């Protein structure tokens, strides 16, 4: 039996109307005066390159950023976390299985939901090494590497790369035994661009002489911020007397203080983030490389890199192929929407992340 052409016409018309409303809904979520991003997904690569107990703060740095991007919507499936040493299980740790980022010890940033992808420096095939980091970026990991340990980005991906550790003029140390040069990093980014592995990239580098790591970059759509200029040290923030070591770096501390005030629907911008640590706070001079980035950071939402929220509009509808009873009701009991919605409303519980910095130090 042929279908009624009027019904077909009406169906197409309704689809077009719904599509228009969805587009209007998306556009209305972009605040006036902001530049709309062209990305379709977000990834974060978070790397701590330092081993040894006295570098406890670098583990705290990377875990704190990890917690922030998760809170803002990037799922573990799109976060690659590299932690160079096992501080929670270090024999010197007076609080085993914990890592804290401030002396109040308000929250353990090494919580139950932390998924470390690359760990340590021995007895594992997924080590924190220069080779593995570069292979991760360019997508040339060994066969058999689990998908959860791969950077599966594409030409629609905004990629955040956070690096913390010990650096010098033109290099970043890994495991106190090898180095990645600024040229190697720049060439890896260029390979990513040629392979269409990113839409835009944002580097946050918290090391000594950090700005030297972005000096050689030449690929488009790359923005970078560094905690110190060439010739400057990047300093720690404070010691926890109970632990006995510095537990967070100055730049990351003030970056986190900013991120803690960001919500998924926030209107805070990348331009504001680039100014989170003036010299009176950082002591070192924060460097920024923006000439490769095509958008104005002051008009780019911070959540374009630190979040992964996509505005959508749910359109009510039903499958007309479902069987109908004589009284007009659906035969499938799971479609009893009034009962299901009522039950969901009664049992829904909203969970929130506890603040990382409950009081000023």
* Confidence class for position 131, pLDDT limits 50, 70, 90: very high
* Relative orientation angle of helices 250-259 and 56-71, to the nearest 10 degrees: 20
Lookup: tokens for 161: 């790369």
Total count of residues recorded for the chain: 361
Whether the pLDDT of residue 273 is over 50: the answer is yes
Opening angle at CA 278, ends 276 and 281, nearest 5 = 100
Nearest residue to 288 (alpha-carbon basis) of 272, 268, 299, 304: 272
% helix / strand / coil in the chain, to the nearest 5?
Answer: 35, 15, 50
Active site residue 15: no
pLDDT of residue 111: 83
pLDDT over 60 (residue 360): no
pLDDT band at 105 (very low <50, low <70, confident <90, very high): confident
Helix (H, G, I), strand (E, B) or coil at 281: helix
359 pLDDT above the threshold of 60: no
Q: Which residue among 20, 39, 58, 208 is the active-site one?
A: 208
Residue 224 has pLDDT above 80, yes or no: yes
Strands 79-83 vs 41-48: parallel, antiparallel or unpaired? parallel
- Between CA 223 and CA 83 the distance in angstroms is 24
Q: Any residues with CB less than 8 A from the CB of 291 and at least 6 apart, and which?
A: none
Q: Per-residue pLDDT averaged across 45-50, rounded?
A: 96
* Distance, CA of 93 to CA of 243 (rounded, Å): 7
Active site residue 166: yes
pLDDT score of 341:
44
Residue whose tokens read 């630190």: 306
pTM, full prediction: 0.80
Candidates 166, 237, 277, 282; catalytic one = 166
Window from 238-247, 255-264, 339-348 with minimum mean pLDDT: 339-348
Mean pLDDT of the chain: 84
């Amino acid at each position: 039996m042929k279908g009624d052409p009027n019904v077909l016409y009406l169906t197409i018309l309704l689809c077009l109307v719904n599509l228009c409303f969805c587009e209007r809904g998306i556009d209305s979520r972009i605040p006036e005066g902001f530049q709309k991003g062209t990305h379709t997904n977000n990834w974060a690569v978070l790397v701590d390159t330092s081993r040894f107990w006295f570098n406890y703060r670098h583990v705290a740095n990377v875990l704190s950023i990890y917690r922030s991007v998760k809170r803002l919507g990037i799922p573990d499936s799109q976060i690659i976390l590299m932690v160079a040493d096992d501080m929670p299980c270090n024999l010197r740790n007076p609080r085993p299985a914990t890592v804290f980022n401030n002396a109040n010890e308000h929250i353990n940033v090494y919580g139950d939901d932390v998924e470390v992808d690359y760990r340590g420096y021995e007895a594992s095939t997924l080590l924190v090494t220069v080779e593995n980091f570069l292979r991760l970026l360019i997508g040339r990991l060994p066969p058999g590497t689990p998908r959860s340990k791969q950077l599966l980005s594409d030409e629609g991906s905004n990629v955040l790369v956070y690096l913390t550790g010990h650096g010098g003029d033109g290099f970043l140390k890994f495991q106190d035994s090898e180095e990645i040069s600024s040229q190697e990093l720049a060439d890896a980014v260029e390979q990513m661009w040629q392979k269409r592995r990113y839409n835009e990239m944002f580097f946050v580098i918290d090391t000594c002489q950090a700005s030297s790591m972005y000096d050689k970059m030449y690929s488009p759509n790359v923005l970078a911020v560094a905690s110190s200029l060439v010739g400057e040290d990047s300093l720690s923030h404070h010691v926890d007397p109970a632990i006995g070591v510095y537990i967070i770096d100055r730049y990351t501390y003030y970056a986190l203080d900013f991120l803690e005030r960001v919500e998924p629907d926030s209107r805070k911008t990348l331009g504001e983030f680039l100014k989170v640590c003036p010299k009176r706070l950082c002591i070192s001079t924060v460097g920024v490389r923006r000439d490769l980035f095509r958008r104005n950071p002051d008009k780019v939402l911070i959540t374009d890199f630190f979040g992964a929220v996509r505005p959508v509009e749910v359109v009510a509808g039903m499958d007309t192929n479902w069987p109908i009873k004589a009284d007009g009701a659906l035969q499938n009991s799971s479609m009893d929407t009034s009962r299901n919605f009522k039950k969901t409303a009664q049992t829904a519980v909203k969970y929130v992340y506890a603040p990382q910095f409950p009081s000023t130090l």
